[in-house]
Chain A
Amino acid sequence: MTTATALDTLGRLESEAIHIFREVAGEFDRPVILFSGGKDSTLLLHLAVKAFWPAPVPFPLLHVDTGHNFDEVIEFRDKVVAQHGLRLEVAKVQDYIDDGRLAERPDGTRNPLQTVPLLDAITGHKFDAVFGGGRRDEERARAKERIFSLRNSFGQWEPRRQRPELWNLYNGRHRPGEHVRVFPLSNWTELDVWHYIAREGIELPSIYYAHRREVYLRDGMWLAEGPWGGPRDGEEKLEKTVRYRTVGDGSCTGAVESDAADIEAVIAEVAASRLTERGATRADDRLSEAAMEDRKREGYF
């Protein structure tokens, strides 16, 4: 009799995420959504809009900008922010490098440098809940994370001290100076994300779809030239048809060779892929067996 209203997998995931957004809105004073313009954060914002419709999203957005950006993504970011009439705070890694608070790493990668500006922004704005687009299927340290993840006043994740998380009763209590990272997409897989993007018709930066780009091969990844540098001796620039599966710091985010020019083609490609999205495209996760855990302990998202 009521089967007509039973939710399918995507409907269930959507309802769960909306529930999480509303819990945070009801229990925290100063939440913020991490928003880079990438697919997971775009999805996050889409769900936030649905959670509070027809009222506007009651949170500002925060982008921790490595300075190693793809132009298409920054344009997209600003367009989406304007479209929803939201406030965007930008914490720039470049500012920290310019005044010496952070030093450029020898490998040129800036992903690990995001942690300090992120924590400063959280402290400076007194944010008490920080929404991130992390998914448990991305990586095995993330698979261990709670939906509400308490961070101490240094922003650190203490995996051994995680609270029990029972049913869907979330305990967001924290002491002054502490905050909670909240992951509404915890239970989504990469394929769920793409199916949902297709179903909802969510617009993404164009670099997620196949396009021609000059790239060079390093450590088995197709990197693009940019402000972060270009090919070294012996690395040849080639024009290829590629797309990005993840978007992060341009210096360590690789493109994959792909003809998937639209959403259906991307779904077919992801479903058939034999590599995880991080394994295929993120040099920063290849650093060590516990690279992600170590960064999360330090306060990374």
Chain B
Amino acid sequence: MSDLLRLATAGSVDDGKSTLVGRLLYDTKSVLADTLDAVHRASADRGLTTPDLSLLVDGLRSEREQGITIDVAYRYFATPKRSFVLADTPGHVQYTRNTVTGASTAQLGVLLVDARKGVIEQTRRHAAVLALLGVPRLVLAVNKIDLVDFDEVTFARIAKEFTAHATALGYAEDAVVEIPVSALAGDNVVERSARTPWYDGPTLLEHLESVPVEPDAHDAPFRFPVQYVIRPRTPEHPDYRGYAGQVAAGTVRVGDEIAVLPAGLRSTVTGIDTADGPLQEAAAGHSVTLLLAHDLDISRGDLIATAGQPPKVTDEFDATVCWLSEKALTPGARVLVKHGTRTVQAIVTELRTRFDEQKLGSTDAPESLSLNEIGQVSVRTAEPIPVDDYTKDRRTGAFLVIDAADGSTLAAGLVGAPLPEVDGVDSCTEGGDAAQPDSHALVSPGP
């Protein structure tokens, strides 16, 4: 079992994500006294009688003024069973790009709903984002269960509706667990609640401590984006030439046959160096320096891969993008694509579909993709690049879409089509929450 779990919260604004994170930290005794004092003081200043635990994570001034989360907070805590890296993300639709940031590396998503409202538009949007990014497991935390009198029927109804949506997004049934919680009062977060006697599943923490973690892709085909060429040219190392990088997938061993892409050169690994001495093998996640048998023209941006199973080298591929910019994407857009350590010019030649994360259907040939929309596109790059399918490899199937003019990140890109092809699932669209206004109007988006 892995000793580390990376998780991200998700769910609509005010559903209680930050309070839940605060509660987890508080009940696991991960909050130190001075931090807690500050939260007590700030809560008292706001006229509250009990501490507002969301203040443990909502660290920006405007977040505390508005009582919402704007950007991801990363928190670290550990229990005797496991260490956790926790990304608390914003629920407001305007800050979806920050939710995507927190979720892109998560191994588990904790999606919250307000038990009074059930599954709403933003719940479905976030579930789709988590599925798209390949977050392998979900927890549905049915929060504010105190406000529905700890009612089993309400919980069961929400759990059933959500499971249908998650299944349609491609989640296996055992990858999703539903838990009734009150982040505010602590029920079923760390302490088992006496007020939900009908619930016999794990508390949130018990689940987080025991859920299987997908291991790093050690058994996948070897992939190594070259970051930097190390050439000391010092008296001790006059001819040293090593290729520095982090193993993105698989395992490399001394003696392995490799291909250098996109050029297609072949060689053999003669050494795996680190400052601590040479290794016989290195696996996904390890930063090392490779030595090769031949003197090849290799530089930053190249990919070293196993010769037996190299990725496809192509200048045209289909991809799914989650658009994160106010500037809409239209066909023919000229952008930069950053894939691994290589940045190339590219044209989005075609918008193939726009995904409807509410009905889980898609529209063909949309005219544009705007902020927070997910769609399939065709990309042509100025030079061929070695790509894997995102569903095969989260690291080498991912890319950034960057605005060449101002350098901003426009989209999260995923090679292939990670979301299942589905036609509208009607049960998910009932409930009429579309008319429900956002419970929380933003004060102003500018600083």
CB closest chain-B residue, reference A294:
B61
**Contact indicator B231/A55 (Cβ below 8 Å):** yes
**Contact indicator A53/B33 (Cβ below 8 Å):** no
Q: Is B38 an interface residue (CB 8 A)?
A: yes
**Contact indicator B70/A160 (Cβ below 8 Å):** yes
CB closest chain-A residue, reference B394:
A167
CB closest chain-B residue, reference A163:
B409
The complex places the Cα of A162 from the Cα of B70 at a distance, in Å, of 10
Q: Is B154 an interface residue (CB 8 A)?
A: no
Q: Is B407 an interface residue (CB 8 A)?
A: yes
**Contact indicator B70/A5 (Cβ below 8 Å):** no
CB closest chain-B residue, reference A161:
B447
The complex places the Cα of A159 from the Cα of B85 at a distance, in Å, of 21
A31 smallest CB distance to B (angstroms): 12
Q: With A5-B283, A171-B400, A289-B42 in contact, is A18–B246 under 8 Å at CB?
A: yes
**Contact indicator A140/B56 (Cβ below 8 Å):** yes
Q: How large is the interface on B (under 10, 10 to 19, 20 to 34, 35 or more residues)?
A: 35 or more
Which of A5, A9, A55, A175 is in CB contact (< 8 Å) with B279? A5
Chain A contacts of B295 at CB under 8 A?
none
Which of B57, B72, B227, B233 is in CB contact (< 8 Å) with A26? B227
Q: With A143-B73, A167-B104, A289-B64 in contact, is A55–B38 under 8 Å at CB?
A: no
The complex places the Cα of A296 from the Cα of B216 at a distance, in Å, of 35
Q: With A159-B60, A164-B412, A166-B398 in contact, is A51–B287 under 8 Å at CB?
A: yes
Chain A contacts of B71 at CB under 8 A?
144, 159-160, 162
Residue with the greatest number of chain B CB neighbours at <10 A, chosen from A54, A137, A141, A169: A169
**Contact indicator A174/B395 (Cβ below 8 Å):** no
**Contact indicator A168/B105 (Cβ below 8 Å):** yes
Q: Is B439 an interface residue (CB 8 A)?
A: no
Chain A contacts of B324 at CB under 8 A?
164
**Contact indicator A171/B402 (Cβ below 8 Å):** yes
Chain B contacts of A294 at CB under 8 A?
61
**Contact indicator A166/B100 (Cβ below 8 Å):** yes
**Contact indicator A140/B74 (Cβ below 8 Å):** no
Q: Is A275 an interface residue (CB 8 A)?
A: yes
The complex places the Cα of A199 from the Cα of B407 at a distance, in Å, of 40
B4 smallest CB distance to A (angstroms): 6
**Contact indicator A56/B286 (Cβ below 8 Å):** no
Q: Is A280 an interface residue (CB 8 A)?
A: yes
Residues of A66-108 at the interface with B, using a CB-CB cut-off of 8 Å, are none
For A202-230 the 0/1 string (1 means CB < 8 A from B) is: 00000000000000000000000000000
Q: Is A238 an interface residue (CB 8 A)?
A: no
Residue with the greatest number of chain A CB neighbours at <10 A, chosen from B35, B215, B228, B230: B228
Q: With A2-B281, A9-B3, A171-B407 in contact, is A276–B35 under 8 Å at CB?
A: yes
The complex places the Cα of A15 from the Cα of B247 at a distance, in Å, of 10
Residues of A1-25 at the interface with B, using a CB-CB cut-off of 8 Å, are 2-9, 11-12, 14-16, 18-19, 22-23, 25
The complex places the Cα of A280 from the Cα of B264 at a distance, in Å, of 57
Chain B contacts of A279 at CB under 8 A?
32-35
Chain B contacts of A189 at CB under 8 A?
76
Q: Is B201 an interface residue (CB 8 A)?
A: no
Chain B contacts of A23 at CB under 8 A?
227, 341
The complex places the Cα of A168 from the Cα of B76 at a distance, in Å, of 18
**Contact indicator B409/A164 (Cβ below 8 Å):** yes
Chain B contacts of A50 at CB under 8 A?
274-276
The complex places the Cα of A56 from the Cα of B71 at a distance, in Å, of 37
**Contact indicator B74/A136 (Cβ below 8 Å):** yes
CB closest chain-A residue, reference B216:
A6
Which of A54, A142, A171 is in CB contact (< 8 Å) with B240? A54
**Contact indicator B85/A275 (Cβ below 8 Å):** no
For A256-283 the 0/1 string (1 means CB < 8 A from B) is: 0000000000000000011110011000
**Contact indicator B76/A187 (Cβ below 8 Å):** yes
The complex places the Cα of A139 from the Cα of B73 at a distance, in Å, of 11
Chain A contacts of B270 at CB under 8 A?
none
Q: Is A186 an interface residue (CB 8 A)?
A: yes
**Contact indicator B406/A175 (Cβ below 8 Å):** yes
Residues of A188-205 at the interface with B, using a CB-CB cut-off of 8 Å, are 189
Q: Is A165 an interface residue (CB 8 A)?
A: yes
Q: Is B330 an interface residue (CB 8 A)?
A: no
Q: Is B300 an interface residue (CB 8 A)?
A: yes
Question: Apart from A55-B237, A164-B100, what 18 extra A-B contacts exist at CB < 8 Å?
Answer: A5-B286, A7-B283, A9-B3, A25-B227, A53-B274, A53-B275, A54-B232, A136-B74, A160-B71, A164-B324, A164-B412, A169-B400, A171-B338, A175-B406, A186-B74, A289-B61, A289-B64, A293-B59
The 6 A-B residue pairs with the shortest CB-CB distance, nearest first, are A140-B59, A173-B407, A279-B34, A55-B232, A53-B275, A18-B287
Binding site for B on A (CB under 8 A): 2-9, 11-12, 14-16, 18-19, 22-23, 25-26, 49-56, 136-137, 139-144, 146, 158-169, 171, 173-175, 186-187, 189, 273-276, 279-280, 289-290, 293-294
